[in-house]
Chains A and B, each alone.
Chain A
Amino acid sequence: MAISFTLNEREVAAEFPPNRLLIDLLRDHFKLKGTKRSCDMEVCGACTVLLNGQPVSSCTTLAADADQGSIVTIEGLSPEAGLSRIQQAFVDHGAAQCGFCTPGFIVAVTDLLSRNPSPSDDEIRHHLRGNLCRCTGYVKILEAVKSLVPPGREGVKAQVKA
């Protein structure tokens, strides 16, 4: 089948059999290797990309689902030169160890902060619960995300809701 979609703000098209998975299209056809295959069963989060603005496991999404929509991968979240503010925060706080889970975390954090710029610690933990880090680096990752919340604004949305 033939599809066309926006990939990291670029119009692209591809043709493939319907059983093709999104992760294979991204890694094999478009050579975007930042999206990692790990658990292969939507548990670990290493393959997270944004599909129409929502985080999805690209290992368990059909490539066909991108048709007429938009996909953002870790490559699309990185400026041409230097690092994004989320990437920089991960570097500054030592939140990347082997680095394998990091792209998935950056995509998940992008989704969190775009909807809730001032998450509480609990909200950060809840949102990132589905991203696994085998280097056990969660404390550093939490610190990196917390550093992106404006001082005194933690959990503002949660308080308003309550």
Chain B
Amino acid sequence: MRPAAFDYLRPTAVAEAVRGISGSDGAFFYAGGTELLLALKMRVLRADRLIDLKRIPQLDRIALSERGELTIGARATHRQIEESALVQQVLPALGRLCSQVANIRVRSVGTIGGNLCFAEPHADPGTFLAALGARLHLVGAQGERMVAADEFVLGEFETARRDDELLSHIVIPAQAGPSAYRRFRHGERPSVGVGVSWRLAKGGRTIETARIRFGALGPRPQAVEALEQALGGVETAKASGRIAELLPHALDALEVISDRHGGADYKRHLAATLLQRCIADAHQAALGGRP
């Protein structure tokens, strides 16, 4: 298998990359290529032009902003995030997530931004970033804008990114409280992914607000408001019991697609189990003082 012929650009600045993609229907940004090249090889996608982002400086930067938010360049690889001392310190659950993506070769070159923009429903980062309340920074010909991770994925392989927009970096309110992500794997992809993040009240024993997202079940990450609301004001040690009361019916509202990863009932069962494990992880993180 090989891709059909295309032009190849190697810009050295974001503005140049955006100019390169404007006005061309068949132009794609190219970073790790772990998903794009597969699609091109199988001729599911056809590219007239690839715009290689690897020579643009700073797009893979991982840093803590002055406001205490973790910013991750869209071109940071899964392996880079996994091995980042800063990520291990302020958001270890994200490092663990990245260490579980696909295989070592994909993690070495595959990027978090490419993963998000490709929007394959069976992927991990989008679910957890939505649970964390992350924001995505897009740069286009008409300017820059921020989109909530919750609003980014519109459907299978479909995002809010306009064709001429480049995802430059992701902003994560990492120090808000404990967080956890768990997934059940089928082959190299998640069948079900669950992400949880809590903001704790003063004293650190009680949940002020909770965010929970379920991924890979349907076309995009989903929330169940009843579960999130039920955790408000609950001690972290009692969160698991509180959720257990609701779980028999709380997940009925989720859109779950039966596929080769399993039937809908089975996936709901997995989602419930993974949620309880995430809550146990988050409670442990709260006790240990590490998110």
Contact = CB atoms under 8 A, between A and B. Distances in A.
Interface in A96-142: 108, 111, 126-127, 129-131
B188 interface: yes
Nearest to A47: B105
Interface in A23-42: 24, 40-42
Contact of A54 (B6, B103, B109): B109
A108 B104 contact: yes
A45 B105 CA distance: 8
Given A41-B38, A54-B79, A60-B38, A48 B5 contact: no
A55 B6 contact: no
A42 B108 contact: no
B19 to A, nearest CB: 19
Contacts of A41: 1, 38, 41
A62 B105 CA distance: 14
A60 B108 contact: no
B37 A43 contact: no
A143 interface: no
B52 interface: yes
Given A18-B7, A40-B41, A61 B103 contact: no
Nearest to B188: A43
Chain B interface extent, by class? 20 to 34
A131 B106 CA distance: 12
Contact of B108 (A55, A62, A129, A131): A55
Interface string B270-290: 000000000000000000000
Contact of A19 (B2, B105, B109): B2
Interface in B208-249: none
B109 A56 contact: yes
Contact of B37 (A45, A54, A61): A61
A154 interface: no
A37 B66 CA distance: 48
A127 B79 CA distance: 12
Contacts of B50: 18, 62
Nearest to B100: A126
B1 A40 contact: yes
A51 B32 CA distance: 12
Nearest to A20: B2
Interface in B1-26: 1-8
Given A17-B5, A43-B188, A55 B105 contact: yes
A45 B103 contact: yes
Given A60-B34, A64-B52, A111 B41 contact: no
Interface in B88-142: 99, 102-106, 108-109
A95 B79 CA distance: 27
A81 interface: no
A157 to B, nearest CB: 12
B33 A62 contact: yes
A51 B109 CA distance: 10
Contacts of A60: 33-34, 37-38, 41
Contacts of B8: 1, 18, 62, 64
Given A60-B37, A64-B52, A18 B1 contact: no
A56 B54 CA distance: 15
Contacts of B52: 64
Contacts of A55: 104-105, 108
A56 B2 contact: no
A149 interface: no
A108 B79 CA distance: 14
16 contacts: A19-B2, A21-B2, A24-B2, A40-B1, A40-B41, A42-B38, A45-B103, A55-B105, A56-B105, A60-B34, A60-B38, A62-B30, A62-B50, A65-B33, A129-B103, A130-B188
Interface of A: 1, 17-21, 24, 40-43, 45, 48, 51, 54-57, 60-62, 64-65, 108, 111, 126-127, 129-131
